[in-house]
């Protein structure tokens, strides 16, 4: 579908700066803009691209003042980043939504399926499962016994949800996500072997959680592994048994969280971070990428970095010295050499 700059401005409650009749039918990055597309400028470092972009329309912040003429029509909004997000969401909502139960899928007679549900080919809905209304289950999804899935949740291809787990409403689980696999529980034996400890708990995922592709959330040994409402997990994340992640926490790719760790609400954790088990992280904590958290963080809104992770400002100052270690070492060697010369002079 095509939209004019005027229609877009009306939808976003913005103002047109240029031709209100120019039309677009796709989106593009500002540095790669093509005619007939809409781009956005939110970060000043990309301003240079607005002067030569091929995009027909560019969303900009209301206070933006161009230094040179801009050929594209600008739509001025309160927040360009949020505005493009709103347009992208609208675009997704306008796509056709599949419905019905496709041939080749299996729904156990003892399962309960809500209204307006889509179940794709080769998916399995096991005995006792409860699937809410408007749920979309794409092909090759496995839903185990007595699993509960809330309204408006989307399970992308290849998602596996083990028995007894609970998924809230409005959640999105991307391809390859595994919910409720066994926690890593083994007891060492006297003969150097390991005996598996049964993992008899489950996983509870609250409402409006999004989990990226190929992430794994293990079931609790006892009780529940809990992902609170509004949590956003990136791809390739491992959440171990009995972990609890607080509301609206966001975690970037390849992070691993060991068993029984408790992470507060509103935290931000960078990619490839590692968090050891049985510790507590306060609300609002920010953990830089590739950090290793080996002890609890009690101070709310603390920012940490490093391995082991410690206060961000101290880490930055320490790293300045760390980079200078080769020079410091050479100076130390020179001082030692000078000292040896002085000693030899005294001996003579």
Q: Which residues are catalytic?
A: 241
The pair phi, psi for residue 127, each rounded to 5°, is -60, 135
Closest CA to 147 of 74, 204, 191: 204
Instruction: Output the CA torsion sign for 163, 165, 166, 171.
Output: negative
Q: Are 213 and 233 in contact (CB under 8 A)?
A: no
From CA 280, how far away is CA 268, in angstroms rounded? 14
Query: What does the block give as tokens for 342?
Result: 């002085």
What is the C-alpha to C-alpha distance for residues 273 and 238, in angstroms, rounded to an integer? 11
- CA pair distance 86, 9, nearest whole angstrom: 12
**CA–CA distance, 230 with 135 (Å, rounded to integer):** 18
Neighbours of 113 (CB within 10 A): 17
CA-CA distance, 175 to 345, in Å (whole number)? 75
């Amino acid at each position: 579908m095509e939209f004019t700059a005027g229609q877009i401005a009306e939808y976003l409650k913005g103002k047109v700066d240029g031709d209100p009749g120019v039309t677009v039918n796709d989106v593009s990055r500002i540095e790669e803009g093509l005619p007939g597309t809409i781009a956005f400028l939110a970060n000043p470092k990309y301003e240079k691209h607005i002067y030569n972009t091929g995009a027909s329309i560019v969303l900009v912040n209301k206070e933006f003042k161009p230094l040179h003429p801009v050929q594209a029509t600008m739509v001025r909004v309160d927040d360009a980043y949020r505005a493009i997000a709103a347009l992208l969401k609208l675009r997704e909502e306008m796509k056709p939504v599949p419905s019905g139960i496709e041939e080749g899928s299996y729904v156990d007679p003892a399962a309960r399926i809500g209204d307006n549900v889509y179940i794709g080919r080769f998916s399995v809905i096991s005995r006792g499962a409860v699937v809410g209304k408007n749920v979309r289950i794409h092909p090759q999804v496995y839903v185990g016994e007595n699993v509960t899935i809330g309204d408006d949740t989307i399970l992308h291809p290849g998602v596996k949800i083990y028995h007894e787990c609970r998924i809230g409403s409005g959640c999105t689980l991307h391809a390859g996500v595994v919910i409720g696999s066994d926690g890593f529980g083994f007891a060492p034996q006297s003969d150097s072997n390991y005996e598996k400890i049964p993992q008899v708990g489950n996983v509870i995922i609250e409402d409006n959680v999004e989990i990226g592709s190929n992430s794994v959330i293990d079931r609790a040994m006892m009780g529940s592994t809990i992902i609170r409402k509004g949590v956003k997990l990136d791809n390739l994340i491992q959440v171990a048994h009995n972990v609890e992640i607080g509301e609206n926490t966001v975690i970037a790719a390849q992070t691993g969280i060991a068993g029984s760790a408790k992470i507060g609400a509103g935290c931000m954790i960078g990619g490839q971070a590692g968090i050891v088990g049985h510790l507590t992280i306060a609300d609002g904590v920010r953990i830089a990428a590739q950090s290793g958290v080996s002890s609890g963080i009690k101070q709310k809104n603390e920012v940490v970095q490093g391995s082991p992770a410690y206060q961000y400002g101290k880490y930055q100052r320490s790293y300045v010295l760390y980079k200078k270690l080769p020079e410091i070492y050479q100076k130390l060697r020179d001082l030692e050499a000078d000292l040896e010369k002085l000693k030899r002079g005294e001996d003579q």
